[in-house]
Chain A
Amino acid sequence: DAGVTQSPTHLIKTRGQHVTLRCSPISGHKSVSWYQQVLGQGPQFIFQYYEKEERGRGNFPDRFSARQFPNYSSELNVNALLLGDSALYLCASSLDPWPDQPQHFGDGTRLSIL
């Protein structure tokens, strides 16, 4: 079975641009979460979506937004990119949004801002 798939794998943008990252969850998983991982640190929670609705939001500015589609795939959008947005963006899926559900991660999108 396919795991969590993310695209693209790498992306280079310049300051002020906009970016869209995509995620397909494991088949049967209805909840998708997004995390930002800066080099040398643990992942930080950005959003969780379940049944197309936002279920949680981390401490990130409004430049970050996301959505989930009827097939449970998801997009993360970041506007007005800053140098500090350079990071590995990880998508994780779980069967449902409950607190004790294991999350399975994709390999991420490496975003570099010049």
Chain B
Amino acid sequence: GENVEQHPSTLSVQEGDSAVIKCTYSDSASNYFPWYKQELGKGPQLIIDIRSNVGEKKDQRIAVTLNKTAKHFSLHITETQPEDSAVYFCAASHSNTGNQFYFGTGTSLTVIP
């Protein structure tokens, strides 16, 4: 099956700086890559996603890039704010496994005011 690796496991940035989280996947058949934000005591919240026919997608301060050749994708958060502090998960899915998502191990982001 698919194997998704995520780095770093923890990340601290000053408020206003940018944060970058990187993920790699193993199965070239993967074609959908969502990112989730999970706050303490809550379920994962979808913040952005990208499909394999697109190289980059942006939504306000959040952007995701995808490199299919290298099989990696990244989350970029600009102008970070304290409310961005949470655990972020990347995931991948592909047509051979229906709608099953394979998740990374998570990145705990702390934005220091």
Q: Are A43 and B101 in contact (CB under 8 A)?
A: yes
* B contact patch SS: strand
Does A73 have its Cβ within 8 Å of any Cβ on chain B? no
Does A102 have its Cβ within 8 Å of any Cβ on chain B? yes
Query: Interface range on chain A: under 10, 10 to 19, 20 to 34, or 35 or more?
Result: 20 to 34
Most chain A Cβ neighbours within 10 Å, of B42, B43, B44, B89: B43
Which residues on A sit within 8 Å (CB–CB) of B4? 42
Closest-by-CB residue of A relative to B4 is: A42
Does B80 have its Cβ within 8 Å of any Cβ on chain A? no
Does A24 have its Cβ within 8 Å of any Cβ on chain B? no
Chain B residues engaging chain A, CB cutoff 8 angstroms: 4, 6, 31-32, 34, 36, 41-46, 49, 51, 89, 91, 93-95, 97-106
Pairs A–B under 8 Å by Cβ, sample size 10: A4-B43, A40-B106, A42-B89, A43-B44, A58-B100, A94-B99, A99-B95, A100-B32, A105-B43, A106-B43
